[in-house]
Every structure is written in structure tokens, then in C-alpha cells.
A and B are shown apart, each in its own frame.
Chain A
Amino acid sequence: EPEVTQTPSHQVTQMGQEVILRCVPISNHLYFYWYRQILGQKVEFLVSFYNNEISEKSEIFDDQFSVERPDGSNFTLKIRSTKLEDSAMYFCASRQGSGPLRNQPQHFGDGTRLSIL
């Protein structure tokens, strides 16, 4: 069964450094997402991406964050200058969702654990 893949599984970075989290969504999916889960808290929506642009973003997704689909398969989340509070599990998701099937399920990767020191 096709799946969303994320790399790396664990990233340790010094505070203030830039980090890029990578995702390969399911190949025929059109909508891409990033969520994060701080330890002990709810999974929170960060951003959605469709047709090469951001379609929705949360208050968390400030100017330090950016997303990109650099080629036909990868979807990346960049944090420009990491803070301690960015430590969390980051999940990528994708869905097929077009036309009458717009509420197709979102499929999640296994996440990247980001630790900021």
C-alpha cells in the first residue's frame, strides 16, 4: 500500500540553526500538510499546500516557517531559526482530494522527531 515517507526520523539541531524536514507524499495525491505534536499535547495543524501554494496556515506557522515542493515528489518544511519550543514531532500528510472526493482521508507519515538543543 502506498505510504507517506518522512526523513530524517530524528533531527537534533542547535537553537538558531535552520532545519529542513522532508516528506515524500503518496504519488497521486494533490494536497499536502504539515502537523506537529509537542510532547504530551494535541496534534496541531501547521499548513496545507495545494497547486504549489499555501492554501491555509495556522497561527503557529509564522515567518520562521516555509514549505516548498521543490520537485514532483518531495514536500519540505523549513524552520529558519529554530527555537527550543520548536521541539516536537512533525508529521507530513497527504490526500488525494479532488472534485467530489474533496473530503478524502489524510494519510500520515511516521514523523520526524525534532529536538532543539
Chain B
Amino acid sequence: GENVEQHPSTLSVQEGDSAVIKCTYSDSASNYFPWYKQELGKGPQLIIDIRSNVGEKKDQRIAVTLNKTAKHFSLHITETQPEDSAVYFCAALKAAGNKLTFGGGTRVLVKP
């Protein structure tokens, strides 16, 4: 089955700096890649997603890139703010599939 690896597991950045989180997946049939942000005591909240027919997608300070050949995708957060502090999860879903396969999560701390 699909396996998603996520790095780093923790990331500490200064406010205003950029943060990058990387994920790799194993199943070339995966074609949908969402990113979720989880704050303390809350469930995962979708922040951005990308489909395999697109190489890059941007939404304000957040961008995601996808390299299908290498089977990896990354989340980029620019101009980080303290409210960006949370756990971020990447995930992958296969075409015609149902289940999301999650990475292990990255705990991001933005220091003021």
C-alpha cells in the first residue's frame, strides 16, 4: 500500500522566515495531495491541496509543489507568523481511492 514519509518532524523558525516541509510517497497511482494544519485540541484543518496534473499551487503565504517523477511534494510557508505554529500533516490519496494516507506530521514553532 501507499506509504508517506514526512520531514522534518519538528521545525523551529524565527517569525518572518520561511518554513519548508517535505513529503515523499511510494505509490505512483496517488494523484491528490492535501496538507492539513492541526492546532492543539482541534482536528486537522485543510490548508491547501494539489492534484497531480499541477506542479505548483499558491494561496497567499502558502504554496505547495509536486514532483511526480520523484514522488515528492513540499509545503512552503513564507513570512511565518506565531499563529502558524501548529502540527502540519501531508497526505496522499489514490485515484479512485477513498483513504488518505498521512505522513507523520511536522511540529512547527514560530518564535516571535
Contacts and interface: CB of A to CB of B under 8 A. Distances in A.
A108 interface: yes
Contacts of A109: 43
A6 B103 CA distance: 23
A109 B32 CA distance: 21
B89 A103 contact: no
B99 A45 contact: yes
B98 A55 contact: yes
Interface residues of A, number: 24
A69 interface: no
B41 A110 contact: yes
B44 A43 contact: yes
A48 B34 contact: no
A110 B43 CA distance: 4
B18 to A, nearest CB: 25
- Size band of the B side of the interface? 20 to 34
Nearest to B102: A43
B45 A56 contact: no
B36 interface: yes
A24 B98 CA distance: 19
B46 A105 contact: yes
Interface string A60-98: 000000000000000000000000000000010000000
Given A33-B99, A48-B99, A58-B99, A105 B49 contact: yes
Q: Which of B32, B44, B97, B103 gathers the greatest number of chain A CB atoms within 10 Å?
A: B44
Contact of B43 (A31, A41, A45, A91): A91
A56 B99 contact: yes
Contacts of A48: 98-99
B43 A106 contact: no
Contacts of B91: 43
B101 interface: yes
B34 A106 contact: yes
Given A45-B101, A108-B44, A108-B45, 6 more contacts: A42-B105, A43-B102, A45-B99, A105-B46, A105-B49, A110-B41
